[in-house]
Amino acid sequence: MDWESFAEQMAGMARDLLAQDSVDATLERITAGAVENVEGCDAAGILLLHGQRVETLAPTEGLVVRSDQLQEHTGEGPCFDAALHSEPVYRIRDLAEPQEKWPEFGRRARDLGIGSMMGFLLYTREEELGSLNLYARRTGVFTKGSETAGWLLASHAAVAFSSARTADQLQQALSTRHTIGEAMGILMERLKVSEDDAFNVLRRVSQERNIKLRDIARQVCESGGIDG
């Protein structure tokens, strides 16, 4: 591997990740970047765990989704373990060989056309985010250099993912605040009540109907009042 060229690619990748305007766009750039920059990588995706349920984000092709579904079904696999057990990296060099650690997954993954794979834990100091997973159709193509490249990309990805998610959450919070404020204004005008009373109306209806406050506020903005 030409490490000088790779360093330049990673610098460009870091700039690209920070330039994305949404979490989804950031994740898609991460997985596309893995295919572009990691030697031997044919496909990539990000796996998140919700208990024992797997969520696949930004897969570059259907193979990634099928692999994640298989790991969820069998409860084993390198990407599943990377996310579940907080292991920094797993690498299967040759899925044509029996896998002692993941026997059922290894056998069935070969039928999916996977020859080699790696899983990298995505984490920051504050939180664990899931795993970045790289796939190759051929066996033995992921080298130590590929692993190092994948690990560097995963480190960049974790920070970018965390930052993008924080920015996305902030944007959602700002949008929610604006919607609630608009709804309060509508109620103040229609019901001839104070700002505090308008907010209390929204909160009471939210509790009574077991609907989130922002959704009640959105209904008020769309209909001009409290329905029912």
The SS3 call for residue 95 is coil
What local confidence, expressed as pLDDT, does residue 93 receive?
87
Q: Own/partner pairs for 90-93, CB < 8 Å, 24+ apart?
A: 90/118, 90/119, 91/116, 91/117, 91/118, 91/119, 91/142, 91/147, 92/116, 92/117, 92/118, 93/139, 93/140, 93/142
- Token readout for 2 is 């030409």
The answer to whether residue 228 sits within a structural domain is no
Residues 56 and 160 in one domain: yes
Which band of pLDDT confidence, cut at 50, 70 and 90, is reported for residue 1? low
- Average pLDDT of 186-209? 88
The answer to whether residue 13 sits within a structural domain is yes
Domain containing 85 equals 3-165
pTM, two decimal places: 0.68
Tell me how far apart the alpha carbons of residues 31 and 83 are, in angstroms, rounded to a whole number: 16
- Average pLDDT of 119-126? 71
212 or 114, which is more confident: 114
Over 70: is that where the pLDDT of 173 sits? Answer: no
141 by Cβ neighbours in 10 Å (0-12 / 13-18 / 19+) ranks as middle
Residues 50 and 110 in one domain: yes
163 or 55, which is more confident: 55
Last residue in a domain, options 149, 165, 181 = 165
The answer to whether 141 and 94 are in contact (CB under 8 A) is no
- Average pLDDT of 187-200? 88
Which band of pLDDT confidence, cut at 50, 70 and 90, is reported for residue 92? confident
Which band of pLDDT confidence, cut at 50, 70 and 90, is reported for residue 20? confident
Output helix, strand, coil percentages for the chain, rounded to the nearest 5.
60, 15, 25
Over 60: is that where the pLDDT of 47 sits? Answer: yes
What local confidence, expressed as pLDDT, does residue 139 receive?
93
The tally of domains found in the chain comes to 2
What local confidence, expressed as pLDDT, does residue 11 receive?
72
Which band of pLDDT confidence, cut at 50, 70 and 90, is reported for residue 3? low
Residues 160 and 180 in one domain: no
What local confidence, expressed as pLDDT, does residue 117 receive?
92
Residues 105 and 177 in one domain: no
Output the domain CATH number for residue 120: 3.30.450.40
Output the domain CATH number for residue 209: 1.10.10.10
The answer to whether 184 and 191 are in contact (CB under 8 A) is no
The answer to whether residue 161 sits within a structural domain is yes
Residues 211 and 195 in one domain: yes
pLDDT digits (tens, 9 = 90+) for 144-153: 888 888 888 8
Residues 157 and 189 in one domain: no
Residues 22 and 126 in one domain: yes
What local confidence, expressed as pLDDT, does residue 37 receive?
84
| Average pLDDT over the chain, rounded to an integer | 83
- Token readout for 112 is 């999916």
